[in-house]
Chain A
Amino acid sequence: MEKTLVDKIWKAHKVHEVEGAEVIYIDQQFLHEVTSPQAFDGLRNRGRDVFRKHKNLATADHNVPTINQHLPISEPLSRKQVKTLNENCAEFGVELFGLGHEKQGIVHVIGPELGYTKPGMTIVCGDSHTSTHGAFGAIAFGIGTSQVEQVLATQCLVLRKPKNMRITVDGTLQKGVFAKDVILYIISKLGTGGATGHFVEYAGSTIRNLSMEARMTVCNMSIEMGARGGLIAPDDITIDYVKDHFSGDPAVLPEAVQFWRSLTSDPGAVFDTEYHFDAADIEPMVTYGTNPGMGMKVTEAIPNTADAKPLSYMGLNNGDSLLGKKIQHVFIGSCTNSRIEDLRLVADFVKGKRKSDDVQVMIIPGSKRVEKQAREEGLDRIFEDAGFQLREPGCSACLGMNEDKIPSGEYCVSTSNRNFEGRQGPGARTILASPLTAAAAAINGKIVDIRKEL
């Protein structure tokens, strides 16, 4: 019988079956400081060691400051959590790229760039945006801390196979429309719970034409429509990227490439749910509410059917347009949009321009490597001339957990992934958008249609 790519990878990792659930082997686990301490405690309480140390990799990202990372973290609880990660990794022999390490960064940025993420793998992390790694044709998904402990102890999880969904996008994107707009558009059509219970395969010519970094942006936000994860079948673009970042024995590469090329859904494979979208219908997107499903084309007005509670939180009304809306902050960063291509796009646009005096702009590179590369390419000087602050890597203002927060009642155009109430700090009002829409908002002090600025 014809199989989907998810079915194939799933089957290749099945260890055991129990009462309709399956025991699935996990090839790679990523760890960070927030969702791992209780898992390591669990191991200690049971007197267990980490089962496969080399299949686990840790970094510090959620709690870290994004300036003066060489100094001790000033907030005591954050400092303790990062210290606990260091101690746990040392005690259990888990590799750690901690604060200050040249390979440190947001967990979903460093996995691919350091060659850990490869096609056909099963990948987990105590973080819902683990779906990012699906861009390589991997089954990658977020888990809770109890499951982090299970993977540490056995490299396995007890799971029920999700349903299959395929989302096909065909055609050429308009100038000024990016991967972030594609995924915000899809989420606005399906809604914040529209893919719950499913694993999504993204397909179609639009997806095929995206770079690996753009594909990561798409897969990253799969969870924002409730999907367990999202993936894209490997092709030449994937294989070129993986070969460039490969850290294993080069002698196995030819065989590996052959295997990676085999990772596709069979032509007749049946998906439980299918959606088709036309790239020509996609415009630059913005969100207006308090979940990522509440998004619209930047030229549209807030629907009259939108709920009162989220609009009241956002200080917006039914029928409002966001074009011309004054904003106070721009955040360019997060596991969704903090890679070198994002920074290059922004730099290319802002070169020779200057931000509005009314706007604060933070650019947070996804990793030390991205930061280094940006500086080597001279992007830091372009940002500085524009009044944008290039800081050090971390999750930053994506989640209001570290020092980078948006003040209550103020608007932030953010390239991150969630506009939940309080996500960027209590009372903060988040408008999700692409890096270029965010950069244009910084220059103009208000939301504009980026297509008119290019």
Chain B
Amino acid sequence: MTGTHALILASPAAETTREVGYWILAILSVAAAVGMVLARRAVHCAMLLAVVMLSLAAFYAMLGAPFLSFVQIIVYTGAVLMLFLFVLMIVGISAADSIIETIRGQRLWAALAGIAMLVLLSLVVGHAVIGPAAPSTAKFGSANVSSLANLIFTRYLYPFEVTSALLIVAAVGAMVLAHRERTTPKPTQRELAARRIASGRPAPLPGPGTYAQHNAADMPALLPDGSQSGLSVSPVLSGRSGEQPRELPGHPAPGTGSSLARPASAGAVAVPASPGGQEAGER
């Protein structure tokens, strides 16, 4: 088993494949990392970071670390990056950096510091003796997981145990930090019902897409008199990035003077007799 493995690694065709793969992934990962620093929206940064992490997983596989390669995909790309995306959803998906410098000349100095660091690290790496790869053994192939387990549970047993303490502290700390005390008592069913009756509209709002040709959530419902109900589209959707609720196909665009399709974005157009109509305009 190990004999064939070493044979495959040493064959010239496999070597060429490794080289081509290395250069493609290296250029891809560096480009994605640069894009991550330059992209203004945080979501794009997260996606580009995923590209870098997946390329690194491929590099680990090339370097004879199949276990780390899978841990990289499962833990980093799967868990850590998803956590980033969840927090982005909380903070606001469209949060973009401002391009105004708060400290004068910060970008210039940051670029200079980056170049200085690159020069320093290149000198260090250039002076270090980096030899060729050691002859491939089963430790870097089929027996990788068992060899790592041997090391972790013998020589690195104490750091491994300390790691569990770290993880517990991190989990408890995250719960304490993210917990929010309730400052007002939770409303009961009775209070909710009373509030609803007092609001003047005990019935639920019309659902989006009712009687329309599409049932998408951002499609205003058609009322029996043919007008569109602005109440049926969630204010979150109609307010998102300033876009209006979609026009119904087959109906004239707003502003053409038709009495049938009145613009839903105008607010409280929908139900002339509805007491809730005024609320929709204020939302």
User: A and B, one complex?
Assistant: no
Q: Which chain B residues have a beta carbon within 8 Å of chain A's beta carbons? A: none
